[in-house]
A and B are shown apart, each in its own frame.
Chain A
Amino acid sequence: MSSAATGYRPSATLPIRAEIRRQASRRRTQLALGFMVLLPLIVLLAFEFGGGNDDDNGGGAFSSLVDLATSGGLNFALFAIFVSAGFLLVVVVALFCGDTVASEASWGSLRYLLAIPVPRARLLAVKLVVALAYSLTALLTLAGTALLVGTLRYGWHPLGSTVAAEIPAGQGVLRLLAILGYLAVTLLGVAGLAFLLSVLTDAALGAVGGAVLLWILSSILDQITALGSLRNFLPTHYSDAWLGLLSTPMQTDDVVKGAISAVCYATLFWSLAFYRFTRKDVTS
């Protein structure tokens, strides 16, 4: 015999659909996704009006990604990913994952969700799944739009790279998907951190900003070679490993290590988030 009100089932509370709708109606979500569409267009315009060759920026073997960006749709998409992977995507993922719980807390609606009652673990799980889904959507939107506008403007050509041989277009799409997959996995780390902060604080901005700040800190530490092999444990250490997927054959060693690092960090952060949230007094 259940003690609950008729029609109430803990596993039916806060359906994923409902959470998607809760987030979809927010201006923040719309702007973030909109920007993912806008960015490739801005980059395209920049290439169109920028004209002339800029001088070599000395970015090593991979500066060629810039030179090759206008050689075809695939390269354009690759370039769009290249320029946004370091910071933009981190911010977007931190936004989706860091804001989700903290904003409910700051609105005061969190306590009403918990009084429904949505079981705390379920609330977190649904929020996390939806935040990750939005993050993935952002990533795919960016790549998809860039691929589309790049192909319309520059045509459908093999994926060029001066590191290795040209990659046929069909295989290039697979490489692009693999890169997106790896980026998605590495971004799990920042997603985990932002989500943990989101649970710990009632200030949505604090959670998002905190996650991005810590991420930047990790990137800075990663630049300090004096730290030696300690850097391997930084969550951002392998964030560029996806570039290895462009060579032939693909360099997957660092990709695998990066995936391990990201999965471990994400699991750690999420575990802490669940542990904390299922035990804390909600005071917002």
Chain B
Amino acid sequence: MNGFKRRALPRPTRRRVVASATVLVLVAALVTWAALPERHSWTATDQRITVRSGPAGTEPVDLDTRFYLPKDRDGKVPAVLLAHGFGGTKTSVGDDAESLADRGYAVLTWTARGFGASGGEIHLDSPDYEVRDAQRLLDWLAERPEVRTDAAGDPRVGVVGGSYGGALALLLAGQDPRVDAIVPLITWNDLGRSFFPQSADGVTTPGVFKKGWAGLFFGNGSASPAGGPPRAGGDPACGRFAADVCAAYLKMATTGVPDAATTALLRRSSPATVLDRIKAPTLLIQGAVDTLFPLSEADANARGIAAAGTPVRVAWFTGGHDGGLGPQTDQDRTKFLTAQWLDHYVKGESPAPENSFTYSRVAGFSALDRGLVTNGYSDPAYPGLAGSGRTEISVSGPAQPIANPPNGNPGALSSLPGVGDRLSSLLGGVAGDLGGQHATFESAPLSAAADVVGAPTVRLRIASPTGSATVFVKLYDADQNGTATLSGGLIAPVRLTGLPEDIAAAQPVMVTLPAIVRRIDAGHTVRVVVATSDQGFLTPADPAVYTVAVEPAVTLPTVVGTPIANPQVVWRYVLLGVLVAIVLGVVAVLLVRRRREAPPVAEFADTPLVVRGLRKAYGDGFVAVEQVDFRVERGQVVGLLGPNGAGKTTTLRVLMGLTMPTSGDALVFGRPLTPGAPILSRVGALVEGPGFLPHLSGYENLRAYWQATGRPMADARFEEALDIAGLGDSVHRRTKNYSHGMRQRLAIAQAMLGLPELLVLDEPTDGLDPPQIAEMRRVLRRYATDGRAVLVSSHLLAEVEQTCTHAVVVNKGRIVAAGPVSEIVGESPSVQLSVSDVTAATSVLESLDVRGVQRDGATDLIVDMNGTPREEVVASLVRAGVGVDRVVPRRRLEDAFLALVGDNSRGSGDR
């Protein structure tokens, strides 16, 4: 019954236990790692701080703050005041705060007045309100026992912020000398110029109202807090804006021209007014994909601060209010620059940062996340917007009439304010000009690539029947296929007055285009487009037709920067290291595995086969061979006889080097048989049926086999082998069409190729017809004549008896008899008698001098004669009146076989 039980689990061997344990430990580690909460290196405290500000410093306002402190601090730590952008809260700078706290800074973030959970109204970074709030926060920091101070009430502090927070950093540094360093990102210099940009040089009238961005800016501030109820009692038009700011916006959005009050208000909120008072070293980071605060804003800040003798450094990245944070490489660079700046000027630790100017240029798309990839470059000093070099090109085109659409509709599209982080689509070009509304002036294909870094300039002439004109100048990079790209979606708005009606009378006006970073490849053309409308700007409502011309000369500022080593380059060395390690590993394995052949066991050097104490237990615990010892001498044909499952095939597999014995060994001419042992080349084998390539003919199979031995063709003795196979013309047919017997004969022929000294054949007559069996017996006997030996396995008694000179009988994995066939098969002391009366015969026999009388069926008796002649027994029986039908002498092999197998018809495989 045991045979029917199946184990639910495999038997636990040592290997399985080790493997399961390893897997378990790995899974446990992974789960633990995933489940454990992150351990922070800092603590954060939320609290509301009430500060007093306003013109008189007496108006209290509640600020929602969060204070980060590094856990692991040595005494007092320097602090960073981290300001958020317009419309954000203290949580929008959480990531930056955490990474600064990680670097050992006490970080104070707060929600600016008028936003989130803080009280008060939005005064647009007014020196009396937001800036004064920040001054009070400096006071608060100075009182923290954990924060380092320069003097009583003067904390060691840097101010970092982007956009709205960046302007605050500049204004605060200009207003409060306690600030030790600032890092303003993507912020403005002059808010008036940002909302009313004017790109024509030397023109002082305000430019064109940037309605798209202004509306977005205003909308952000007037919206009620997310999820909260509408603010009661407030002016629905103004939201949380202070009354003066709200009035200024409403007025400028209506007219498109700022009045004196608005101009003053915007002026008050502009760092431009305080640059000469900034003493804190300043790192200015500005985005090249920013139509709100373009690179020129940072340029103005840099020049202003440098004029006061304060250290200032400029970095550009590919991103901004339109482009978002930019590619990872750019984020890493700006983060590094910020940390380096603060570490030196606030913490006072690392050496002074270089003064180099760094920027990045789009190199292409990442194949993996479809994002942009940029390369970083550096130049020893900040060159400004005019570049360190210049390329003059000329564009051509006739003076062209262009129409201003009424109320700016339909309007051309150049950027998508507020969509944010649409870097790739932006660079792919959302720009589109409308027919009749733009004039085009194009250059010849560039003979050499130009690395444009800075603001290109063109000279424009305009004639207008009304005397004034609002136009937008754009610079496209057009490739050979005509695809034109507007870098960053940046355009130059120009509003001119006092224009003549005739283009011939128009004076050229220098227009500085927005600063860009772009490589214009050789073969590309530069296309200057002058358009009358843009959806981002407020254009004159009345229709008009202008005539525009562009002077041929266009100046492209260039910088040839040094590429910044990409940290990703390290992977190249990793790859190299991996390859070297693999090569070394392979060499090491080859050296270790190089083994000399073991010397022969001299005693058996001339014996074709000696099997000693062979045992094979399989991984699942099944023992196929318990203990097998036998020898095959030269000239012998040895039969390995046993029932199915006795262990014959396993023994032969060991002899072929396919299976490793658990213990014991097999020696061929004294050499142990291990997998791949060269001695195997002197053994020919057929085990468990033929194995041929089905798509090759019999002949090709034999050739392919012999080729695989690498031995000379002449040694193969193909003719003899083919003779033995006896396949005739069929030898040229594909083996997949062969009958079982044909394959068997071919396999025997293959085993005999090269006439190996020991031939091992597993059930060779399987599938052969009687004449072929007879022929095969002759072949095998003849094969063993000149010193060679043959080992044949069979489960058929007659087979072994007729083919072999010697026999080895195995059962249940053990040898039960061995010796010359004549000896084993010779006369046995017992006979089988068929008699007419079994009972009478038994009594007669018992009176004779015989041993053991056994009944065997209804009419048969098996008698051990004990030397008594058979004729005497028969005579005695006949005399006693018992009829004798048959007297069959029994043979020893049969005895042995019956003793082993007769009582166990299930076969030993079921053990």
Contact = CB atoms under 8 A, between A and B. Distances in A.
B709 A240 contact: no
B774 interface: no
A279 B688 CA distance: 21
Given A3-B679, A112-B685, A249 B370 contact: no
Given A108-B691, A114-B675, A160-B481, A2 B597 contact: yes
A117 B681 contact: yes
A61 B692 contact: no
B178 to A, nearest CB: 41
Contacts of A109: 691-693, 705
B691 A115 contact: no
Given A15-B710, A244-B365, 15 more contacts: A5-B756, A18-B708, A25-B693, A25-B696, A110-B691, A116-B680, A120-B675, A166-B523, A240-B368, A242-B367, A247-B363, A251-B364, A253-B568, A254-B367, A263-B578
A259 B571 CA distance: 10
A246 B710 CA distance: 47
Nearest to B367: A243
Contacts of B685: 112, 115
A115 B680 contact: yes
A108 B756 contact: no
A120 B709 CA distance: 13
Interface string B466-510: 000000000000011101000000000000000000000000000
Contacts of B680: 115-117
B671 interface: yes
Interface of A: 2-10, 12-15, 17-18, 21-22, 25-27, 60-62, 107-121, 160, 162-166, 237-238, 240-244, 246-249, 251, 253-254, 256-257, 259-260, 263-264, 267, 278-279, 281-283
B711 A5 contact: yes
26 contacts: A3-B682, A4-B681, A7-B711, A10-B676, A12-B711, A14-B710, A61-B370, A61-B428, A107-B691, A108-B688, A108-B689, A108-B690, A112-B685, A114-B656, A116-B708, A117-B675, A119-B676, A165-B479, A165-B523, A165-B524, A166-B479, A237-B368, A241-B367, A251-B373, A257-B571, A263-B582
A117 B705 CA distance: 11
Most buried by A among B364, B367, B694, B715: B367
A93 to B, nearest CB: 20
Interface of B: 363-368, 370, 373, 375, 424, 428, 479-481, 483, 521, 523-524, 566, 568, 571-572, 574-575, 578-579, 582, 593, 597, 600, 653, 656-660, 669, 671, 675-683, 685, 687-696, 700, 704-705, 707-712, 715, 750, 754, 756
Given A109-B693, A251-B367, A7 B704 contact: no
Contacts of B579: 263
A12 B424 contact: no
A111 to B, nearest CB: 5
Contact of B424 (A61, A160, A241): A61
Nearest to A111: B658
Contacts of A108: 688-692
A264 B578 CA distance: 8
Contact of B754 (A5, A253, A279): A5
B481 to A, nearest CB: 7
B695 A26 contact: yes
Contacts of A17: 707
B719 to A, nearest CB: 18
Contact of B691 (A112, A243, A247): A112
A16 to B, nearest CB: 11
A113 B690 CA distance: 12
Contacts of A241: 367-368
Across the A-B interface, the 6 shortest Cβ-Cβ residue pairs: A247-B364, A108-B691, A12-B710, A243-B367, A4-B678, A7-B711
| B373, B579, B711 pick with most chain A CB within 10 angstroms | B711
A8 B659 contact: no
B725 to A, nearest CB: 15
A60 B715 contact: no
Given A21-B704, A114-B656, A249-B375, A4 B691 contact: no
Contacts of A3: 597, 600, 669, 671, 678-679, 682
Contact of B710 (A9, A114, A115, A279): A9
B571 A256 contact: yes
A79 to B, nearest CB: 16
Contact of B678 (A8, A107, A162): A8
B842 to A, nearest CB: 52
B669 to A, nearest CB: 6
Contacts of B566: 253
Given A3-B671, A109-B692, A244-B367, A8 B711 contact: yes
Contacts of A278: 675
B676 A282 contact: no
A118 to B, nearest CB: 6
A162 B685 CA distance: 64
A25 B367 CA distance: 40
Contacts of B574: 256, 260
Nearest to B593: A121
A115 B683 contact: yes
B175 to A, nearest CB: 44
Given A3-B671, A264-B578, A238 B368 contact: yes
Nearest to A222: B368
A117 B657 contact: yes
Contacts of A61: 365, 370, 424, 428
B483 A282 contact: no
B709 A116 contact: yes
Contacts of B578: 260, 263-264
B373 A244 contact: yes
Contact of A5 (B572, B676, B682, B705): B682
A140 to B, nearest CB: 22
B607 to A, nearest CB: 13
B656 A7 contact: no
B304 to A, nearest CB: 36
B479 A117 contact: no
Given A18-B704, A22-B704, A26-B695, A247 B365 contact: yes
A66 B750 CA distance: 55
A112 B750 contact: yes
A14 B708 contact: yes
A115 B657 contact: yes
A114 B370 contact: no
Contacts of B690: 108
B463 to A, nearest CB: 37
Given A18-B708, A244-B366, A253 B693 contact: no
B787 to A, nearest CB: 14
A163 to B, nearest CB: 5
A254 B691 contact: no
A146 B512 CA distance: 49
Contacts of A112: 685, 691, 705, 750
Nearest to A15: B710
A240 B373 CA distance: 15
A17 B710 CA distance: 11
Contacts of A107: 691-694
Contact of A162 (B483, B593, B657, B705): B483
A278 B708 CA distance: 19
B148 to A, nearest CB: 36
Contacts of A264: 578
Nearest to B522: A165
A218 to B, nearest CB: 15
A248 B365 CA distance: 10
A277 to B, nearest CB: 10
A142 to B, nearest CB: 20
A256 B681 contact: no
Contacts of A283: 658-659
A234 to B, nearest CB: 12
B564 to A, nearest CB: 14
A242 B524 CA distance: 26
Contacts of B367: 62, 240-244, 251, 254
